[in-house]
Amino acid sequence: MTSRRDFLKTSAGVGVGAAVGMGSPRSLAGAPAVLPHRVAPVAIASGNGMEAVATAFRAVSAGGDTLDAAVEGVNIVERDPNDRSVGYGGRPNLDGVVQLDSSVMHGPSRGAGAVACLEGIKTPSRVAVDVMRYTDHVLLVGKGAQRFAVSMGHRVEDLLTEGTRRQWIEWRARMSATDDYLTPEEAGLRVPPFEDEDDGMGMLDSHDGVRPQGTINCNVINQDGDLSGVTTTSGLAWKIPGRVGDSPIVGAGLYVDNDVGACGSTGRGEAVIKTCGSHSVVELMRSGMSPVDACLEALRRVVTFTAEERLRNEQGRPGFNVNYYAVNKNGEYGGAAIWSGARFAVCSGGESRREDSAYLFERGR
């Protein structure tokens, strides 16, 4: 019998020839025709990724690997205590504990890695890369993911900031009028109630107020047309401990096929998981759709799958947002959301910029 190690040894020998002679492994049928010329590199991200795309673009322009570039970009946001939707400073779960989700996909090697419910590590995207590079697995979760991260040299730290702790304490006090926690008004405190921004990426209007949901997705293509992507998040604020969103689910919050394109998502993860969102966008691009049209078509599927009345507004439309960000093999890119007003970050040289996402429904109509 051939052991996995024997198999790897054999295929490594084949792999060297393959890598030098033929580029990436054999293409899947149906990939769209790719223009023979070199591609203009571009990095795209969710609206909170202005610095991330600039960093990723610089890295890839200097000859860096597309996944290393994308991860270096999102690390800025993961380490930023003021971005309350990702990494350090992300909003905690019901118990006041920050649990992080992330996935990565590397187009040229067809690699994928992910972590979910990871506690105490500021940069879960780097742990996802380690899962991809140093294990035979794709997804590690919870305590096992943390133990793996520590074994790879990541440091365990407290991810709550004073701001997110105060938000959580206040949210807990407002949960019920009959428990023993006092709201700031009841306690006679003169602190202003916290205000949560709608960053255009995914607020869920629920009966008990607005549930913030932010995330960063970043996708990069280099001049050879190689693609990679990363998605990373602290997920839905105040979630039930153990809840996993779309971000670490390959095919939902991220998908990359080096023959076709890359896509990632932000917004209500449950809706993206149910429709295999990012994989759907890539498959629609494979069938010939532009990135924007593919994103819009995948969003229509989200609308169709939103059957629960509690998730729909008076017009029967989703009471939440989902955003897709896609780039195809020729470097064409686009973003789309269910609701108008969303923007995404782009860098294709010079300063990064925000562009308007296409949308299905206009807010306020």
Which residue bears the tokens 């070199």?
Answer: 38
Which residue bears the tokens 């990565």?
Answer: 104
The reply on whether position 99 binds ligand GLY by CB under 6 A is no
Q: Quick one: which segment of 74-82, 148-156, 241-249, 352-360 binds ligand GLY (CB under 6 A)?
A: 241-249
Give ∠ CA 160-342-291 in degrees, rounded to 5. Answer: 110
The reply on whether position 232 binds ligand GLY by CB under 6 A is no
Q: Please name every residue paired with 44 in a beta bridge, in sequence order, or none if there are none.
A: 219, 346
> Quick count: other Cβ atoms within 10 Å of Cβ 262?
34
Distance of alpha carbon 74 from its chain centroid, rounded?
Answer: 10
Strands 139-141 and 111-118: parallel
Determine which residue in the list 245, 261, 318, 335 makes contact with ligand GLY, applying CB under 6 A. Answer: 245
| CA gap 58, 53 in Å, rounded | 8
| CA gap 99, 159 in Å, rounded | 9
245 phi and psi, to 5 degrees?
-90, -160
Nearer to ligand GLY, 39 or 281 (CB): 281
Q: Quick one: which segment of 65-73, 239-247, 338-346, 353-361 binds ligand GLY (CB under 6 A)?
A: 239-247
Q: What is the smallest separation between the CB atom of 272 and ligand GLY, expressed in angstroms? A: 7
Nearer to ligand GLY, 248 or 261 (CB): 248
Q: Quick one: which segment of 69-77, 134-142, 189-197, 263-271 binds ligand GLY (CB under 6 A)?
A: 263-271
Q: Quick one: which segment of 176-184, 189-197, 260-268, 326-334 binds ligand GLY (CB under 6 A)?
A: 260-268
Task: Kindly provide the residue ranges of all beta strands, DSSP E only, lying in 96-208, ordered along the sequence.
Answer: 100-106, 111-118, 139-141, 203-206
Does the active-site annotation cover 215? yes
Closest of 238, 163, 237 to residue 202, by C-alpha: 237
Cβ 134 vs Cβ 152: under 8 Å: yes
Nearer to ligand GLY, 102 or 222 (CB): 102
The reply on whether position 140 binds ligand GLY by CB under 6 A is no
Nearer to ligand GLY, 146 or 266 (CB): 266
Distance of alpha carbon 65 from its chain centroid, rounded?
Answer: 19
Segment 199 to 228, residues that bind ligand GLY, using CB under 6 A: 213, 215
Q: What is the smallest separation between the CB atom of 269 and ligand GLY, expressed in angstroms? A: 2
Q: What is the smallest separation between the CB atom of 225 and ligand GLY, expressed in angstroms? A: 28
Nearer to ligand GLY, 92 or 235 (CB): 235
Determine which residue in the list 73, 225, 235, 319 makes contact with ligand GLY, applying CB under 6 A. Answer: 235
Determine which residue in the list 41, 87, 267, 334 makes contact with ligand GLY, applying CB under 6 A. Answer: 267
Q: Quick one: which segment of 38-46, 127-135, 152-160, 231-239 binds ligand GLY (CB under 6 A)?
A: 231-239
Nearer to ligand GLY, 59 or 204 (CB): 204
Cβ 118 vs Cβ 159: under 8 Å: no
Nearer to ligand GLY, 200 or 267 (CB): 267
The reply on whether position 46 binds ligand GLY by CB under 6 A is no
| Catalytic option among 123, 215, 231, 233 | 215
The reply on whether position 275 binds ligand GLY by CB under 6 A is no
Q: Please name every residue paired with 324 in a beta bridge, in sequence order, or none if there are none.
A: 265, 336
Determine which residue in the list 109, 167, 228, 266 makes contact with ligand GLY, applying CB under 6 A. Answer: 266
Segment 57 to 86, residues that bind ligand GLY, using CB under 6 A: none
Sign, Cα dihedral of 206, 210, 215, 216: positive
Distance of alpha carbon 311 from its chain centroid, rounded?
Answer: 22
Cβ 106 vs Cβ 131: under 8 Å: no
| CA gap 107, 23 in Å, rounded | 11
Helices (H), the chain: 4-22, 50-61, 66-78, 124-134, 142-151, 162-174, 269-274, 277-286, 291-305
Catalytic residues: 215
The residues of the shown chain that bind ligand GLY, judged by CB under 6 A, are 213, 215, 233, 235-236, 245-247, 266-269
